[in-house]
Amino acid sequence: MSTAELRTWLHESDPKKFPYAAVVGHYRRVGKHFVRPELLSLLAEVRDRLPSMHGPWEHIQTLASFLDTALDKPDQRYDYPTYLALALLQLPTVDDPVEQAPFARSRCDRLIAQLVADALAFEVAASEGATALLPEMRPDPDLVVKRCKHGLRVIRPVLARMSLDGGLTATEPLELARQACSVVQADMSFSEERAQELSVLPVYTAHDEYLFLRVLQTFETTFSLLAVLLRGVTAALADREIDRAAHFLATAENALRESAPLFSMLATMQVESFRTFREFTEGASAIQSRNYKLVESLCRVPDPDRVDSAAFHSAPDVRERVLAGQDTLDCSFRELCDSGVSKEDRERIAEGMKRFARALMRWRNTHYRLAVRMLGEASGTGYTEGTPYLKAVRTVPVFHAVDVADEETDETARTR
């Protein structure tokens, strides 16, 4: 990128006209880890000017969020949320009004469809030689077909709920992926397109990092939805709205189950490629996932050693919620059982909790097995101890108030 374009923009500092394409293009050509110092200095100057800029708030907010992820490495605050550019995705939050829980599903459906479709669009474009983006270690054609099959498994039920599946008529995976990408893109707003454009800033130039970023962003979207739904379950139980609580629980279990093929997509990553770009992701680890910790802590109060672990210290606001005594589904269910509600209602909620717990434990086990495949017994990044850490926490009980039979399903086996 010629820094002259950014210098010219600085004379006006109009957030609506920021040269995103040029800046993002440079980041993607060289990788975030290798961005030119001159460009980083100019972007820092842009950030310094944010408080004095004039224009629509949404444009200023977008620019601020973009700079947050673009400057994380030189600021030495690079971590999992900035690597994934989560601030740009505008995920639903657990602090949203409980009444908005039903709308969180539709919001997340849109985002999941957009993220996965974009990953598939990149795979198809690269396989056809239609993009020069991230040219290192391209996958072979058979691997691209596999990725399309697994991605379509994720988004087809989502597109059905969005009433966007009517035009999916192809039988060949690549053509079906093209159709899915086309209908998703045609349905996107300008702000959604902008968020998608800005939310992939790979650290290196390896092809598979694009897939890695989009899949992790999709998992974060799913867990943000789970946190909202679990809070909705707790609120519904407090009001003795059994039907509503059961609906939220079923929706949460279904969302987690529908995300399972994302592991199959990740399992198609080339180990050499993953280990190459992972060298430059030091400091960003999934252990820093705030949404995962929210889900864990909304299910039940974590044990004291867990609250004091590196995992919860890496998400300090979630830890504070736990220490402040936030409501949990475990406690709400115990109160329900002591309130005199019918045995039928108690069993209905208990069964919903068991199904959700089994789904979450399958997720943990599959995560662990995939990590072993990609990392072996290597140490993790950021705060983790690598696969030994994942092995230790995969059996942590989801609930104490209901008994959940040990059940494991290895989703990655479907990729063999």
CATH of the domain at 140: 1.20.58.480
Tell me, yes or no, whether 92 lies in a domain. Answer: no
Tell me, yes or no, whether 84 lies in a domain. Answer: no
Both tokens of residue 324? 């402040």
Instruction: Report helix, strand and coil shares of the chain as percent, to nearest 5.
Output: 70, 0, 30
State the pLDDT at residue 100: 81
Please tell me whether residues 231 and 315 are part of one structural domain: yes
Please tell me whether residues 34 and 122 are part of one structural domain: no
Tell me, yes or no, whether 90 lies in a domain. Answer: no
Tell me, yes or no, whether 346 lies in a domain. Answer: yes
Please tell me whether residues 19 and 151 are part of one structural domain: no
Tell me, yes or no, whether 86 lies in a domain. Answer: no
State the pLDDT at residue 379: 52
Are 267 and 415 in contact by the 8 Å Cβ rule? The answer is yes
Please tell me whether residues 108 and 63 are part of one structural domain: no
Low-confidence ranges of the chain (pLDDT < 50): 380-384, 407-416
Please tell me whether residues 11 and 151 are part of one structural domain: no
Query: Which residue has tokens 């590196």?
Result: 310
Both tokens of residue 102? 């039903």
Q: Return left, alpha or beta for 292; rule: phi > 0 is left, psi -120 to 50 is alpha, else beta.
A: alpha
Q: In terms of pTM, does the model score above 0.85?
A: yes
Residue 8 domain boundaries:
3-77
Tell me, yes or no, whether 128 lies in a domain. Answer: yes
State the pLDDT at residue 371: 86
Please tell me whether residues 51 and 105 are part of one structural domain: no
Please tell me whether residues 45 and 159 are part of one structural domain: no
Please tell me whether residues 183 and 239 are part of one structural domain: yes
Please tell me the total count of domains within the chain.
2
Cβ burial 257-296 (10 Å sphere, 16+ → b, else e): bbbbbbbbbbbbbbeebbebbbebbebbbbbbbbbbbbbb
Please tell me whether residues 176 and 318 are part of one structural domain: yes
Of 47, 77, 107, the domain-final residue = 77
Nearest to 104 by CA among 7, 198, 271, 223: 223
State the pLDDT at residue 330: 96
The Cα 322–Cα 261 span in angstroms is 31
Please tell me whether residues 134 and 42 are part of one structural domain: no
Please tell me whether residues 183 and 287 are part of one structural domain: yes
Please tell me whether residues 249 and 383 are part of one structural domain: yes
